[in-house]
Amino acid sequence: MSSNAATREVAEDLSPFLKIYTDGTYERLIESPYFPPVIKDPTTGVSSKDVTDAAIPVRIFLPEITDPNKKIPILIHFHAGGFIVGSIFSANDFKYLNALSSATKTLIIAVEYRLVPEHFLPAAYEDSEAAVNWICSHALEKTQIQKDLWISTHGDFSKIFIQGDSSGSNISYNLTMRFSSIPLPGNLKISGLILTHPGFCSSIPIAGDSDGDLHLRKIWTYCFPNVPGGIDSPYINPFFVDDASLSAMGCSKLLVAVAENDTLKVKGLAFAERMKKCGYPGSVETVESYGEGHCFHVSDPHGENAKILFGKFSEFINSEKTREHKGSWRRILVGMIHQCKILITSYSCCCNKSVKRRIHEGGLCTM
């Protein structure tokens, strides 16, 4: 904070991210000091490195593997921060992605997109698309990019997943929608999309919405001031997107993760419901972390709830399932009594019967 911040008049308060003052200056409220990558983390065995000469800067996380030529799924990650704060090069993101790579056994490629207010939207979307294209270009025999050895050697280009947290989920959603009509290099396909505590808005309230949604609208209006449609732009409001477009979303399956105490939970679940009914041919699953708030897994990646959430990510990534059997849905309650619980729900677009299972400590009970 600058020395005269306390005496300046605030023109707009976008806490906890940003304050804009009447004199035209601004103050970013969350800083992300650089935290270096490591070769073979002593706890997880994950190695990490920065690639700053790519189209867009990235940090890569490679889990410990014994086969020097082993191919593993690629997980392209977009960080949280309301388009305003955050960095993949921060200590928090290092701890989080280091743990996530170890838990899912994926080659994580985290993207450092440009932030507001230095670069208003759609800069973050443009950077993110450029990064995905750069990553996919590694699958081509002839390409003008300088290939990264870790990606070329260990990336399984038949298993590409996109994942983001909060605003990063919004970016992930928009990219996957775009790739339904714009081909990736080598005509590669996105195997799955993981939206973690996704940031969506709408001018039409959804039952259960809170004041947190109103604040998100304010942030969105600032970050993308001239976007057609405003709060109902297809960038931020998937509920105004027609069924034909949603059903063509460019991935084979979808996982939406929400947290019980998160103000964004309602729209996350509503989006999953919309995807089940729009004609989307892939599987749609939801995961709810009980007793947790927004992006809890980023600040506490070694907590029990985070570990269970990462386990669900791993199951989603490594499962060959791309669609539920027609006519069925299942709901599984996973957890430990008096400890963390996660509600996992997977659906098909058409259903006429149900199976419920509840798993507690050491037991399986069919309901």
Catalytic residues: 166, 262, 294
Single out the residue of 275, 57, 76, 60 nearest to residue 165, CA to CA.
76
List the Cα angle 53/55/59 in 5-degree steps: 65
Here the tokens at position 22 are 């009447």
Terminal C-alpha separation, the chain: 56
Environment class of 34 (CB within 10 Å of its CB; exposed 0-12, middle 13-18, buried 19+): exposed
Single out the residue of 140, 96, 30 nearest to residue 309, CA to CA.
96
DSSP 3-state of 254:
strand
Here the tokens at position 25 are 């200056």
Please answer whether residues 163 and 190 qualify as being in contact, where contact means their C-beta atoms are separated by less than 8 angstroms: no
Looking at the DSSP bridge assignments, the partners of residue 111 are 58, 78
Please answer whether residues 330 and 358 qualify as being in contact, where contact means their C-beta atoms are separated by less than 8 angstroms: no
Peptide bond into 63 cis (omega under 30): no
The DSSP letter of residue 238 is G
Q: Is the dihedral of CA 138, 144, 145, 150 positive or negative?
A: positive
Please answer whether residues 60 and 109 qualify as being in contact, where contact means their C-beta atoms are separated by less than 8 angstroms: yes
Question: What radius of gyration, in Å, describes the C-alpha atoms of the chain?
Answer: 20
CA distance 306 to 322: 24
**Cβ-based neighbour number of residue 155 at 10 Å:** 24
